Structure 1
Amino acid sequence: MKKKNIYLLSIAVFIIATTAIVINYNQKQKAKESYIYELLDRKGPAAQSKEFLAVKKRATDLIAALALNPNDTKSSLKLASLYIQEARETGNYVYYDMAAMHQLKSVLKLEPDNFNALVFKALIEMSQHHFADGLTTAAKARAINPYNGYIYGLLVDGNVEMGRYDSAVVYADKMVSVRPDLTSYSRVSYLREIYGDYTGAIKAMKMAVETGGAGDEHTEWTRVQLGSLYEKVGDYKKADTLYQYSLALRPGYAYAIAGLGRVALANKDYKKAIGYFEQADSLINDNAMKEELVDIYQITGDSAKAQVIANAVIADLSKDAKAANDDENIGHYADKELAYAYLKIKDVDKALEHALLEYNRRPDNIDVNEAVAWMYYNKGDYTKALPYIKVALKTNSKNPTLLSRAGLIFYKAGDKTMAKTLLQAATSSNAYIAQSLRTESIEAFKTL
């Protein structure tokens, strides 16, 4: 065969091979884009509830509609909304955030300025702790429709998480004027709590509960938050009543069960507390339940069991954080949570490393500054802890855990006057504080 013919044949083979690769890639991309995530079964009694059976029916209908018409943006948005709510119900945020974002991408590809799609996208970004991204997306949605109340709620959330509290207050006022309901009143409550007004926070959260539908997940979540506020002012009787009532309205609600666990823990009924937290942990994927169990097992002297659970929490959070770094559609930044998780196993260096990673993203947030300060405290570097704890106190928050930590930091740094003021405020009531922290705070206060 002549060299010219061999050359032409080689070119032809190359073109055919390249075309096959491109076609195969396009087919895979098309299959990926048209893929629809299935609904996962819930845990416990919720798996057989009438509510979940109705959710499964809606999901099946929407998936069928999209199989017939992948460009049906209305069905895509309804399915995304269903996934977002299911994440709240089950705690399976990694899976359902990915499922919802997949639907939203298909909508935004067809309609880049679809308001509802942008709202849902901002909500998911904030759920994943990508707060700066969520604020950018929420601002874009607001530019499209500045008269929607819910978008102001997302702007409140994003600004709170980024430490821009004055802006959050402005957006909360706007939200209440546009949409006076559970979602706006609960945000007002949270901001009042941040600024140290527990009386006002409780009043606003009561209004939020009253405007919701009894038994709905959002309403019972809000009722549990009201119970948590009562814990922070030391009124466990009211907190217990709210959690019991929530369970009567929504049987098996994990967060209400966990609330009962905290009440039992405050009463030093460790056996009952363990039972409640184990039950809650069996119903929902939320590492907060496991972290409470770590604390109780440490208190009761079962350090081996505490270590096993703490390591499991770290592994889960690390996997989630890695997913967030590798793919914006899944996982969430979990460095603040990892900082506290590493502290539980006394790996202070890793705890500080993760706290500082979160600080680099959100240097103005009071909770993040508290975390960094507390890691430096546990490292024994009290001078470095001081500037961070001062930022954490900038809103005049009366959170008893924050006041205890701040008091101890000032105590160790040599400012006995500030330490006495803070520790007295933290320990003068029976407000909920982890037992080890309360003991340490009381011992320090006795010396002042």
Structure 2
Amino acid sequence: MTTTASPPHQTCEHAPDDHRPTGRVRFVGPALFVLVTGLAVGRLIWTDPTTTTTTAKETAAAALDELRAVAETDATSVESWIIFGNASMKAAVASGDRDEYIAAKDAFDTALRLAPDSPDALTARAGFALNAHDFATALTLAERSVELNPYNPAALAALVDAHIETGRYAAAEVALNALLDVEPSSPAYARVSYLRELMGDVDGALLAMQRAVASASPGANRATLLVFLGDLQLEMGRVEDASKAYGMALMDSPSNAAATVGQARVLIARGSLNQAAALLDTAIELGPETTAAIVRGEVALLLNDRAGAEAAFAIARTRDDHLRARGEATDLDSATFLANRGQTAEAVTRASTAYAVRTTVLGADVLAWALFMAGDLDEALPLVDDALATNITSPTVRVHSAAILAAAGETGRARDELAVAFRATPWTDLSIRPVAIQLADQLGMRLPASWSL
């Protein structure tokens, strides 16, 4: 991994703003779009980390109507259609209204029909394709946009994301270095962090994310970056640093559900399970995503509260159904959850669907785990090598790999993988902890103190 990050630099206002979870698959999307975050496996979900008041929603709706009127009045203005499309996309993120997603797509398509070689129109439509998990289309559009204007940071950012989400990591690094040359700012540093993390360079990932935070302006965008920073620190065992990062995120964005979940994870790491459960109950009310409910269920299991766990997991399933109904691609995010809850057939179907269009190391891990939990060791085993192809050190990937290898009788490799996992902590993915405990006993390994409660 040779990607380098320059010192913090003044961020250009039109640069793409930057999102894991359940995990940390992060950034996508062009200028004027909002932050992107996603699971443990993939954060390519458009999210708005703040709560919107009724008055703010009404004001935004009125502004959107005005932008639509401007575009329709001057129907040949490419710029007007792009502006309206970006505004519709942002509104769709805030409301979950599928009609607004459709309006955004129609606006970008109109802009492209009017000007097929407009870099701005190509970039905007590429961002929409990334959000829709149509990565092949996003790659084609972003490549064309960069070909026409190799100095457009938004187009370069979209190209980086499209390469990453199609598993083209070397090409992503080339595009990322070009982005750093054009605009070494917060969105670029955040992408450096993610790519380094995928390559197993967690120290480099941490340094790059610190630079991303340092070069970001206070507000919701910086809050999201602070959550990513906290997640990295927590996974590395730097619990106090993570706590500070999540606290700073909540200062920037008081209703940030991901930061609240992060604080709950810090409490779990400290052994304060009842306090964590109470905080997760608050986090569940802050947003429509599934992560808080899943973690709440896992904490309930640690407290031997099976009824509470099932109630929380039911909330997660209901929310996933709602997100899917409004058109969001949640297959990769939900497959591991379903596999861990015994819904293995559906988990395999969703993981297979996602991996077909998202051939990443994280996608390979999720599919391998779903197949393994479904009892298909023969199909799961070859995917272990795919999941480890970049030397990613994620404890989730390493524990899953260790379990599959151990079941296949490859105990030496299983020990090696579990040893790598034990260099990190399990607090960003509690589901791997009971698996690791059982494996450690099976393989004659000691559970680290950092994995104990």
For Structure 1 versus Structure 2, the TM-score category normalised by the shorter chain is: 0.7 to 0.9
Amino acid at match of 1:403: R
Amino acid at match of 1:340: T
The aligned counterpart of 1:357 is: 353
CA gap of 1:293–1:129, structure 2 versus 1, over 3 A, is farther
Return the match for 2:290 from 287, 292, 298: 287
Amino acid at match of 1:422: E
Kindly indicate whether residue 370 of structure 2 is the aligned counterpart of residue 369 of structure 1: no
- Which of the two has greater helix per residue? 1
CA gap of 1:359–1:67, structure 2 versus 1, over 3 A, is closer
Return the match for 1:337 from 317, 333, 336: 333
Kindly indicate whether residue 246 of structure 2 is the aligned counterpart of residue 251 of structure 1: no
Amino acid at match of 1:141: S
The alpha carbon displacement at 1:241 in A equals 0.3
CA gap of 1:231–1:78, structure 2 versus 1, over 3 A, is same
Matched-pair contact (CA < 8 Å) for 1:427–1:442? no
The alpha carbon displacement at 1:45 in A equals 5.6
CA gap of 1:79–1:291, structure 2 versus 1, over 3 A, is farther
Structure 1 unaligned residues grouped into runs of 5+: 1-41, 324-329
- Aligned-residue sequence identity (percent) comes to 26
1:15-414 alignment, distance < 5 Å: 46-47=52-53, 55=60, 58-66=63-71, 68-87=73-92, 90=94, 92=96, 94=98, 96-215=100-219, 217-307=220-310, 309-311=312-314, 313-314=316-317, 317=320, 331-362=327-358, 364-414=359-409
The alpha carbon displacement at 1:200 in A equals 0.6
Return the match for 2:427 from 427, 432, 436: 432
Measure, in 2, the Cα distance between the counterparts of 1:251 and 1:314: 26
Higher relative contact order (CA 8 A, sep 6+): 2
Measure, in 2, the Cα distance between the counterparts of 1:188 and 1:256: 22
Amino acid at match of 1:421: D
The alpha carbon displacement at 1:160 in A equals 1.0
The aligned counterpart of 1:11 is: none
CA gap of 1:291–1:430, structure 2 versus 1, over 3 A, is closer
The alpha carbon displacement at 1:306 in A equals 4.1
Matched-pair contact (CA < 8 Å) for 1:423–1:442? no
Amino acid at match of 1:397: I
Query: How many residues matched?
Result: 396
The alpha carbon displacement at 1:415 in A equals 1.5
The alpha carbon displacement at 1:309 in A equals 4.9
Higher gyration radius (CA): 1
Matched-pair contact (CA < 8 Å) for 1:46–1:252? no
TM-score of the aligned structures, taking structure 2 as reference length = 0.79
The aligned counterpart of 1:31 is: none
Measure, in 2, the Cα distance between the counterparts of 1:135 and 1:91: 27
Structure 2 unaligned residues grouped into runs of 5+: 1-47, 445-453
Moved more, 99-108 or 266-275: 266-275
TM-score of the aligned structures, taking structure 1 as reference length = 0.79
Deviation string, structure 1 residues 395-424 (Cα, Å, up to 9, x no partner): 111111111111122222111211112212
CA gap of 1:443–1:47, structure 2 versus 1, over 3 A, is same
